[in-house]
Every structure is written in C-alpha cells, then in structure tokens.
Structure 1
Amino acid sequence: MAPPTAAIESIPVEGAAHGLRWSWRAHVHGTPTDPVAKTWLARALDVAPEALNLVREPRGRPRLEPPQAGFDCSWSHSGDGLLIALGQGVELGVDCERLRPRPRALDVAHRYFTAAEHEWLASFAALDARDRAFLRLWCAKEAVLKAHGHGLSFGLHKLRFVESGAALVLAECDPGLGAAHDWSLHEFEPAPGYVAALAWR
C-alpha cells in the first residue's frame, strides 16, 4: 500500500548511481514539473536557471543543448513525487511509479508486454508481489523508451526484460532501440511507497 500524502517527505532526497545523479521531491499532482526540474538541473550543473538551455524534442523528450551539451536529463512524476535524473556522456531515461493495487496488471501485461513477461507476472501467487513486479517492469520499459526518445508510442512489447538475480535486465529489443546489451538499468526506491528505474546507454 502507498503511504498517505502526509507521509511523503517534503525535504528533497538526492542520490547517485553509476555516475548518474537523481533527485526526489514532493510535488503536487497536476502542477507543472518542468520549472522544478529546470531549477534542480541548473543547480546540479552549477549554472543560473536562465542559462540552462533546455529544449523539447518533437516527441516531448527534454534535451540539454550547448553549453550544456554532453549532459542528458529525464524526469518522471507519479502520485505526490517528482524524480529527476542527470548524466553525462549517456542517453538516459527515468521513470517512477507509486505502489498501489493494480487489479488489471495481468490484463495490461497480456495486451502490452511480451508473452514471456506476462507468464513471469502470472507466476506470482501473492497479489502485492505481482503488483510490485508489474510496476518494476513498467518502470524499466518506460525508462528505456524515454531515453530512446519515442516514449510509450514505440511499443512496450518491443523490449523484453528478464529477472537476473534480483535485478531486471534487458534481454532483447527491437533494432530501433539498438543492441539490448548496450542498455543498463538501475532499479531503486526513491521514497517509501515508490519504485523507480534509471536506464541509460
């Protein structure tokens, strides 16, 4: 179960993994995320917000251009939280999801995921474990597709993840995403009641 809104920390939490930086903060659902993301990115890059050259690609992907070229960014909003990520020399995407019951998880997986992923989810007898596994897969897929730049419209079925140990690994993908082994994934919990994934190549 997700924590009540009052339990979400109002103090931002920051972290790093594999040379990538991230920041998690409380954010009111339905309010603009771009200004908040831009403020943190400017601070992380040690520039004034007005000097940050942040643009949107035609499909909506945020992109840093000169003089911040060489860095990449992504952010995701779910529930009452906003997760922002920054990296250098990589293409990156991030996604976070609030943990809550997903009664249609298997139906969604059957329609949008690969058959093998659907079978993996169906193997979970406990509904809470299945819901978490579903959201892990969703975050992993969306993080890769955000990094790629096409987002969900590219097709969630065009990339297949498998669990290796306790981690998800991209096993195969559409040639449009490049080689599966070029992608790396870092799963984590940015705040209680949330799961997230950083993907990069």
Structure 2
Amino acid sequence: MFSQDNSLRTGPVRCAWRDYRRGQRAETLVRPWLAGQLHVPPAAIDLRRDAHGRPQLALAGPGAGPAHLDANWSHSGDGLLVALGEDVDVGVDIEWLRPRPKAMALAERFFAPSEAAWLARLPTATAEDAFVRLWCAKEAVLKAHGHGLSFGLHRLAFAPDGDVWRLVACDPALGTPQDWHLHAFTPMPGYLATLAWRPHRG
C-alpha cells in the first residue's frame, strides 16, 4: 500500500512511493492510489497507453472531472513512484543507486557535450551520483513531454546548480526551459527521484 508518510505534494503535483516486487504490474498498484486521490472508485480510473506507450488517465463514467488529469509512474529496483497532476503534463523517474561502471560512456554517447564534459571532471564516486541525478531529470522531462527516451537525451541540456540540475536549453518541441518545473528528492534510502511538470498545452 502507498502510505501517507511516503508521499509529498509540490505545486500542482502529488506523488507517493512504495515497495515494489519485480514482475508486478504497476497499473494494479497505481490504480487504487489514483482512485483515493481523486475520490472515485478504482473502476472509474481509466488507464490507457498512447502510441508512445505513455499512460493516459481519464475518469470513466458520468460526472465532470478536472479539465486535464495526468499520471505517470516509474519503478527501479524495489521501489515504485507514482505522480498525479491537474492541468499539467507530469513525468517522473526513480532510480536505484547502484554501481554504474558505464555511466561516463553513456554520458558521452547520449548526453549533451557540456553535460558529459562536466561529469568527466568529477571524481568517479561523485560522478556516478551526479549522472543518476541528471538521468532522472532528463527522463522525467521526456516522460512528461510524452515521447520518453526515444526523443533523445541530447535534445535537452542541464547545468549543475548546487546539488540539483537546472534545465538550461531544450529542443523547441519541449517548449522553453522556463516552461518546466523540476523537483529532485530522495523518496527512500538508496534511491533518487525527480518530478517534472509543465502547464498542459491542450
């Protein structure tokens, strides 16, 4: 079960996290939480996938709901994170912290050159943590956008800003960096996560 202690609200987005067993269908775990947040029976939660595999949330049955509801979730290791937003497009990523010996090779191949260069200047242990934080930020934005990683990790660029990454440039299809809000946090020991959202464009 998702508990009140394992939840937060930031801006127009609510999220919660819980233990996850590999092989479980995330939808069966997410649906009751969404129903509780929206005060409807679980059967009223209509979850479908679009052509890119992104979840689409609607309320089934009569009754007018919010103009736009959006949900997104992510699982890694033994953790599951789900987010719900109203009148925004929301994306979320959770990552289990584990050794990533190929992190720098992945950064050089898939990240913006400025990001890869910055990571390369860090000590190995610090660089791996920074890599995960950057990956979380990128994936959360791309999931909110709707195309996911297939859109291209290099098509949005972040710069370090203290302990977090700040979006500084992006492909016009993503809007402008100022459109986006990001919240990075530690949902549970050994995990990093990021929420990303922007106003829904209709």
Q: What's the TM-score, normalizing by structure 2?
A: 0.90
Q: Which amino acid is the alignment partner of residue 177 of structure 2?
A: A
Aligned to 2:144: 147
Counterpart of 2:154 in structure 1 is 157
From 50, 57, 65, the counterpart of 2:58? 65
Alignment of 1:54-93 (within 5 A): 54-66=47-59, 67-68=64-65, 69-93=67-91
- Aligned partners of 2:154 and 2:41: how far apart in 1? 41
Return the letter of the residue paired with 1:119: A
Cα distance change on mapping 1:48 and 1:179 into 2, 3 Å: same
**Residue type at the aligned position of 1:195:** L
Task: Give the secondary structure class of the aligned counterpart of 1:72.
Answer: strand
Alignment partner of 1:107 is 2:105: yes
Which 4+ residue blocks in structure 1 deviate beyond 2 angstroms?
65-69
Unaligned runs of 5+ in 1: 1-9
Please report how far the alpha carbon of residue 169 of structure 1 lies from its aligned counterpart in structure 2 after TM superposition.
1.1
The one-letter amino acid of 2:143's match is K
Q: Cα deviation per residue 1:136-173 (whole Å; 9 max; x = unaligned)? A: 01010000010011001000010001112332111001
Q: Provide structure 2 residue ranges, at least 5 long, that are not aligned to the other structure.
A: none
Instruction: Give 3-state SS (helix, strand or coil) of 2:188's partner.
Output: coil
1:118-137 paired onto structure 2 within 5 Å: 118-125=116-123, 127-137=124-134
Question: Structure 1 length as normaliser, TM-score?
Answer: 0.90
Contact 1:63 1:72 survives alignment (8 Å):
yes
Cα distance change of structure 1 residues 11 and 87 upon mapping to structure 2, 3 Å threshold = closer
Partner Cα separation in structure 2 for residue 124 and residue 172 of structure 1: 22
Q: Which amino acid aligns with 1:88?
A: E
Query: What is the CA–CA distance in structure 1 between the aligned matches of 2:189 and 2:49, rounded to whole Å?
Result: 31
One-letter code of the match for 2:115? E
Q: How many residues align?
A: 191
- Verify the 8 A CA contact 2:119 2:127 in the aligned structure 1: yes
CA RMSD in angstroms comes to 1.4
